[in-house]
Amino acid sequence: MVTIIAVVTVAVGFIFAFINGFHDGCNVLASSISSRSILPKQAMLIACAAEFIGALILGTAVAETIGRGVVYPSNVLAEEPVIGIIFVLSTLLGGIIWNLVTWKYGIPSSSSHALIGGILGSGIFLFGWHSINWTNILFRVVIVMFTSPIIGFSIGYFFIKLAILLLKNSTTDVNDHLKKVQHYSMFFLGVSHGSSDSQKSMGLIALVLLVLNGGSEFHIPLWVKLGCAAAITAGLSIGGWKIIKTVGDKIYKLKPIHSFSSQIAASSVIAAASIFGSPVSTTQIVISSVMGVGAGDRYKKVNWNTVKSIATAWLTTLPSAAAISALLAFIMKIIFN
């Protein structure tokens, strides 16, 4: 029975990566498509290639944080294996349910926050408050959750001001160059996003394998990396067009200079966070960089009502996903234990 539940949980881990691809991955495409810098099909091909490569080349620091840096592995391993598997399964399903609800309404919420909320909800229910690494939660989740949008906004604001200053005497031909260079800036954004978000599924799948192996070394096999890379890329290939429209059109009317500046800002922050193992919200960073670019150009033209709605989704995601996952853990514990 434990093995069957574990196999199902691993499959759900890949499904989470797939849903993450069309829910969060579409942020990679939004600015280039909305600014008419790259044709949608071409943008999709570039982004898919970047997502797959990014999932494999920037290490596994984020996966380690998700897999063993939120709930202490010793608490998971102290219980029967079925409880450890239920913990991961309820976490993933809680994140998936929240992602699907927000995707349906075109709300660019954070898959990262949904997953961390799920870990907290099911972890506290199954193992208790003492099982949570509150130091990591404070420094790698809570502080990052509030500071990363400020950083993304600030860097986006800086880049657009710099771009406007450097290009103020340019002819209209500069737009053609900005469109071409976005093939590279969007690729960089896709690589950084693929690295950060695919690792979140990797970390939980690795935790399932750790439980099955009875507490041997925490390790992410190549097949897990490849599976998560393929899943997130496949999800992106479907495209979350409702969210693309929200990010690309409903915050600020983007032009090539705006989309290029926001991509450079967002990809820099995400890539740095991936290397240092912080499970940041790529959605937060991409959207905050778009806000910063818009505010740096024409503050009054930013649709602050849309921004307010998005911010509300950010604040409600973690507790909502936590509640859903805790409820699922409660039900599964009755059924399987």
pLDDT digits (tens, 9 = 90+) for 193-231: 888 888 889 999 999 999 988 777 788 999 999 999 999
Q: Is the pLDDT of residue 241 over 70?
A: no
Summary mean pLDDT of the chain? 85
CA-wise closest residue to 238 among 77, 121, 103, 336: 103
pLDDT given at position 199 = 87
State the CB neighbour count (10 A cutoff) for residue 164.
13
Assess contact for 291 and 153: CB atoms under 8 A. Answer: yes
* DSSP per position, 158-184: HHHHHHHHHTTT--TTHHHHHHHHHHH
Q: How far apart are CA 314 and CA 310, in angstroms?
A: 6
Helix axes 282-298, 26-34, angle to 10 degrees: 20
Q: How far apart are CA 239 and CA 27, in angstroms?
A: 10
Q: Where are the domains of the chain?
A: 2-336
Q: How far apart are CA 31 and CA 254, in angstroms?
A: 7
pTM of the model: 0.88
pLDDT given at position 260 = 86
User: Which tokens sit at 168?
Assistant: 């103020």
Q: How far apart are CA 250 and CA 334, in angstroms?
A: 45
Assess contact for 218 and 295: CB atoms under 8 A. Answer: no
Q: Give the pLDDT confidence of 145-202 residue by residue, as tens digits.
A: 788 888 889 998 998 898 888 887 776 677 788 888 888 888 888 888 888 888 889 9
Burial of 122 per CB tally in 10 Å (0-12, 13-18, 19+): buried
CA-wise closest residue to 14 among 184, 316, 217, 228: 228
Q: Give the pLDDT confidence of 261-304 residue by residue, as tens digits.
A: 888 888 888 877 777 777 777 778 888 888 899 898 888 888 88
CA-wise closest residue to 200 among 220, 217, 186, 180: 220
Assess contact for 178 and 264: CB atoms under 8 A. Answer: no
CA-wise closest residue to 200 among 4, 17, 8: 17
Q: Give the pLDDT confidence of 61-86 residue by residue, as tens digits.
A: 788 888 888 899 889 988 899 999 99
138 pLDDT tier (thresholds 50, 70, 90): confident
